[in-house]
Structure 1
Amino acid sequence: MRFSVFLNARTMSADADKQLIIDLERHALLAGELGFDAIFLPDHHFNGYMPVASDSYMFAAYLAAKLPAMHFGFSVTSVPLHHPVRFVERINILDHLTKGKLLVGIGSGTTPEEMIGFGVNYKDAGRIAEENLQAAEALWTKTVDDAPVELDGFHKGRVLQRIAPAPYGQKHARLMPVAMKESSTTRAAVNGWPAFIPAFTPPKIGGTEPLSHVKKYFSSYHEQLLAAGHAAETVADALSWTTHSYQCVHLAPTDEQAHREVMEILTAYQEAIEREAAFNAKAEADDANKKTDRTNSALTEEWMATWCLYGSPETVIRKLRDYEEVGIGNILCGTVTGPLTAQRLAYADQTLRLLAEQVLPAFK
């Protein structure tokens, strides 16, 4: 089983952005020293959720120069917010810089406030995402001698020659759909790509039985992956990166200490969420941008059961054995969840060290 670090911190004011970038770099370098498999970054805008995630590709390129052995991933790129040409170009460049160690999570986005900043209506996000992905595949396969690729959806353009640089390998970098919709599951399986395996089923986001959802989605993906007729090494690679995500992972020497500290972390996280919710309410002022689902408070049992992994190393190992048995290949650990104060960073580093020293060896 692989273990990856998800950089998902927040700032509460503009004057905190500078220190957050410094602290995230140091935390990522520590993850590299301790033997984690990958660094994953989100794609967010405007609201203080990972300010550096306004261009995660740029930050990943910077980190890749310092961590040449590390894989880099995105959880996830909001495809409707990216022009297909820029999407393809930047993925190709970063795939070269990481020597093929790139995993591009793809989705339609979750936040109306971010959508309207790019002129996208929330209700149109799924359609635009599909348009953009189809256009991206056409751009990746285009040669100089082919007819122009015409972009005539939400994003416009006419590409006469080809995308430069060309992909790093024979094919473009691996994309990672979220295996929730049947079409996304099929896209991952048919292409031999890994997938994110959800721990809930909409419209209810959360619940106290995340493993039941993980089993359901993983089984559907796994069956289609095997049925697609890929080479054994392609299947093995896809499964080794198929990912179960935790928004908040926190370890301490004892369960009691871990619970006390994680409640402190989640209290600050919920305060940040409520601040962001006020701006999202403004974004939902019209029917085209109304959300149809809501996430419970992070301080509820359902949120913690779905999104948190915490406890002593022994407890965390026991909890993860169930996911290992299902066949999950990669555990994505949100280690810096919430506002990244000095104390929060100390908790994050504590978690990295306990994971590396006691949990990772149990699964390698």
Structure 2
Amino acid sequence: MRFSVFLNARSMAPEDDRGLIQALAIHAERAAALGFDAIFMPDHHFNGYMPIASDSFMFAAYLAAKLPHMHFGFSVTSVPLHHPVRFVERINILDQLTDGKLLVGIGSGTTPEEMIGFGVDYRDAGAIADRNLAIAEQLWAKGLEDPAVEIDSGPHQGRVLQRIAPAAYTPGHARLMPVALKEASARRAATHGWPAFIPAFTPPTIGGTEPMRHVAKHFGVYRAMLDEASHSPEAIARALDWTTHTYQLVHVAETDEQAREEMMAILTAYQEAIEREAAFNARAESNDANKKTDRTPNALTEDWIGTWCLYGSPETVVEHLKPYAELGIGNILCGTTTGPLTDERLRLGDQTLRLLSERVMPAFRKA
């Protein structure tokens, strides 16, 4: 089983942005030195959630030059916010710069505040995402003499006469990673032989204390579709190798009691940041076009912790992860900088990296 780091810190003020960028670059380098397999980043705008996430492609290119052996991923790219041409161009450039070590999570969901900033009607986000992905496939396949690709997906317009440059490094294009929450998304991943994100909940409830039940259900659907798609055993193995389960917060300490106490301090600061962001989203939801239909539980509740957190001593974390490894999850994505990025938060994040590397990851590496 692989282990990857999710850079998901928050900046609470403009004067904190530069320090956050520098600190996360160092954190990523530390993770690489400790044997983690990949660095993943979110795709967010305006709200202080990972300021570099306003262009994660650019930050990934910066890190790729420093860490050429690492894989890089996005969890997840909000496809409706990206013009299909820029989406394809940036992925191709990163695919070249990383020698194909790229994993592009794709989804349609984001916050109303982000949607209105890009002129996207929240109600149309799913349809725009599907249309943009279909156009992206046309752009990846287009040769110089092929007919023009017409782009008309709501907020995005255009007509592409030539090919996309540069060409992709990976045959076809870099691996995309849908979230296997809906049947259509799971089938998209399985049909193409791509990895998938396997969630630990089933809407409309976003949270709960039985995450493995949901993970097993979603993974089972995706795995069955992979088998039905008639891929070679090697292609199935490549897809499962990066099939990912995500923890928004991973925190490891010497004892379970220490880990719980430190985790609750992290979550208290995280929840304060979430509540501030919710006030801006409430303004965005002042019209019907941007009404959300779901709500994330308070991060201080056991429901949220049960779904999104992995914590405890190294021994406890190993025992927790064994069923996921046995199920066939290929990659554990670890949020190690969750919440506002203070000096203390960085210390705790580095502590988690070290203990995962020294006392958790060896239990899941192939001999």
Is TM-score (shorter-chain normalized) higher than 0.5? yes
1:175 aligns with 2:188: no
1:71 aligns with 2:71: yes
Q: Distance in 1 between the 2:109 and 2:223 partners?
A: 25
Q: Which residue is 1:153 aligned to?
A: 153
Q: Distance in 2 between the 1:45 and 1:153 partners?
A: 21
- Give CA-to-partner distance per residue, 1:18-66, whole Å, 9 cap, x none: 1000100000000000010000000000000000100000000000000
Q: Which residue is 1:287 aligned to?
A: 288
- Give CA-to-partner distance per residue, 1:211-263, whole Å, 9 cap, x none: 11001100000000011111221110100100000000000011111011000
Q: CA deviation at 1:109?
A: 2.2
Q: Distance in 1 between the 2:239 and 2:178 partners?
A: 12
- TM-score for both structures, normalised by structure 2: 0.99
Q: Distance in 1 between the 2:153 and 2:171 partners?
A: 28
Q: What are the equivalent positions in structure 2 for 1:46-85 lying under 5 Å apart? A: 46-85=46-85
The DSSP-based 3-state class of the residue aligned with 1:77 is strand
1:190 aligns with 2:186: no
What code does the residue aligned with 1:72 have? F
- Give CA-to-partner distance per residue, 1:183-235, whole Å, 9 cap, x none: 10000000000000010011110011111100110000000001111122111
The DSSP-based 3-state class of the residue aligned with 2:187 is helix
1:87 aligns with 2:116: no
Q: CA deviation at 1:172?
A: 0.1
Q: Which residue is 1:254 aligned to?
A: 255
1:117 aligns with 2:117: yes
What code does the residue aligned with 1:24 have? L
Q: What are the equivalent positions in structure 2 for 1:322-361 lying under 5 Å apart? A: 322-361=323-362
What code does the residue aligned with 1:311 have? G
Q: Distance in 1 between the 2:311 and 2:235 partners?
A: 33
Deviates more, 1:224-233 or 1:3-12: 224-233
Q: Distance in 2 between the 1:233 and 1:117 partners?
A: 43
What code does the residue aligned with 1:196 have? F
1:11 aligns with 2:23: no
Q: Distance in 1 between the 2:110 and 2:323 partners?
A: 29
List gaps (5 residues or longer) in structure 1: none
Q: Distance in 2 between the 1:287 and 1:169 partners?
A: 42
Q: Which residue is 2:2 aligned to?
A: 2
Q: Which residue is 2:271 aligned to?
A: 270
| Alignment RMSD (CA, Å) | 0.6
The DSSP-based 3-state class of the residue aligned with 1:114 is helix
Q: Distance in 1 between the 2:52 and 2:102 partners?
A: 18
The DSSP-based 3-state class of the residue aligned with 1:116 is helix
Q: Distance in 2 between the 1:24 and 1:262 partners?
A: 19
Sequence identity of aligned pairs in percent? Answer: 72
Q: Distance in 1 between the 2:119 and 2:170 partners?
A: 34
The DSSP-based 3-state class of the residue aligned with 1:132 is helix
Q: What are the equivalent positions in structure 2 for 1:308-319 lying under 5 Å apart? A: 308-319=309-320
Q: CA deviation at 1:322?
A: 1.2
- TM-score for both structures, normalised by structure 1: 0.99
1:134 aligns with 2:134: yes
The DSSP-based 3-state class of the residue aligned with 1:244 is strand
Q: Distance in 2 between the 1:165 and 1:22 partners?
A: 29
List gaps (5 residues or longer) in structure 2: none
User: Which runs of structure 1 show a deviation greater than 2 angstroms over 4 or more consecutive aligned residues?
Assistant: none
- Give CA-to-partner distance per residue, 1:135-185, whole Å, 9 cap, x none: 000000000011111112221111101000111022200000000111100
Q: Distance in 2 between the 1:143 and 1:229 partners?
A: 28
Aligned residues: 364
Q: Distance in 2 between the 1:196 and 1:274 partners?
A: 26
1:245 aligns with 2:246: yes
1:225 aligns with 2:226: yes
The DSSP-based 3-state class of the residue aligned with 2:202 is coil
- Give CA-to-partner distance per residue, 1:314-339, whole Å, 9 cap, x none: 00000000111111110000000000
